[in-house]
Amino acid sequence: MSGAIIVFAKQPRAGFVKTRMTPPLTAFEASSLYECMLEDVLAQTLAFARTFGLESWLSVYPPQACEEMARRAPSGFHVVPQRGRDLSKRMEWAAGSASAAGVSPILLRGSDSPALSQRTMREALEALREVDVVISPDRDGGYSLVGMRRFCAGLFAHPMSTSRVLDETLRHIASRALRSRLLPPSFDLDTVLDLRWLAELRTTGATLLCPRTLAYLDAQDLWRHLRKGEGDGFSFF
């Protein structure tokens, strides 16, 4: 059995996704932006999985949205529901289910990091030949990608979506005497100000990874919310 990369995604409906972007975005703008991000992530992930002989899984929340999300996803994704009362439990369940199906190694990634590079995902696979866990940190104390050579129960047994997620995960890794490696960092798009990281990448060509996301931002001129914040300690382009 081959390894797998599992994308965690939510049903892209207004008022349910990217709520930290509203305001200044409307609920519809935020959900439309997330839908574009998800499309980019699924396209990149499927291409990566096919190149390296991995299975591609899509883990969906809420569970009843699986049928809809299966229609949205490119052909080739194994669509499964997320199970558990919170994200940590849902990540544990997804990784455990993949392991029970004989899948190894297991990569988990979110759907709000459309600029996560293929190079970083490749480095994750290569590193898992030598270490037990790999992590690509993001800028807010969490991570955009985590990989396990084999399923590690309890690795996510802490509150998620906090600034201490990475530290807590590393603590669990150390307590189990597992070997780990940090990969190059990436970033999630959680708030409107996070778009600045995407703006900075635009001149490097790396944003070719997320053409739909960029096209939507351009078409709706959502960059204007960054321009309004130029005096708040960061620059735009």
Separation CA 151–CA 187 (nearest Å): 25
Cβ-count burial 33-66 (b if 16+ within 10 Å, e if not): bbbbbbbbbbbbbbebbeebebbbbbbbbeeebb
Predicted local distance difference test score (pLDDT) of residue 170: 92
Say if CB 151 and CB 97 are below 8 A apart: no
Instruction: Determine the number of helices (DSSP H) and then strands (DSSP E) in the chain.
Output: 8, 7
Separation CA 135–CA 167 (nearest Å): 11
- Other residues' Cβ atoms within 10 Å of the Cβ of residue 82: 20
Structure confidence at residue 207 as a pLDDT band (50, 70, 90): low
Q: Which two tokens stand for residue 234?
A: 């960061």
Give the tens place of pLDDT for each residue, 111-134: 999 999 999 999 999 999 999 999
Predicted local distance difference test score (pLDDT) of residue 233: 37
Predicted local distance difference test score (pLDDT) of residue 62: 97
Give the chain's radius of gyration (CA, Å): 17
Predicted local distance difference test score (pLDDT) of residue 229: 53
Phi and psi torsions of 96, nearest 5°? -65, -40
Residue 155's closest CA among 137, 188, 138, 132?
132
Predicted local distance difference test score (pLDDT) of residue 236: 32
Looking at 5-14, 76-85, 197-206, which range is the least confident one? 197-206
Residue 227: exposure state from Cβ atoms within 10 A (0-12, 13-18, ≥19): exposed
Separation CA 95–CA 146 (nearest Å): 11
CATH number for 4-229 (one of 3.90.550.10, 2.130.10.10, 1.10.1370.20, 3.90.226.10): it is 3.90.550.10
Predicted local distance difference test score (pLDDT) of residue 206: 61
Residue 192's closest CA among 229, 166, 154, 220?
229
Give the tens place of pLDDT for each residue, 33-54: 999 999 999 999 999 999 999 9
Percentage of the chain with pLDDT > 70?
A: 94
Say what the pTM is. 0.92
Structure confidence at residue 230 as a pLDDT band (50, 70, 90): very low
Predicted local distance difference test score (pLDDT) of residue 153: 87
Separation CA 164–CA 44 (nearest Å): 28
pLDDT at 234 over 60: no
Q: Which two tokens stand for residue 65?
A: 């949205």
Q: Give the single-character DSSP code of 136.
A: E
For the chain, first and last CA: distance in Å?
Answer: 45
Find residue 106's DSSP bridge partners.
4, 148
Return mean pLDDT, the chain: 91
Separation CA 155–CA 148 (nearest Å): 10
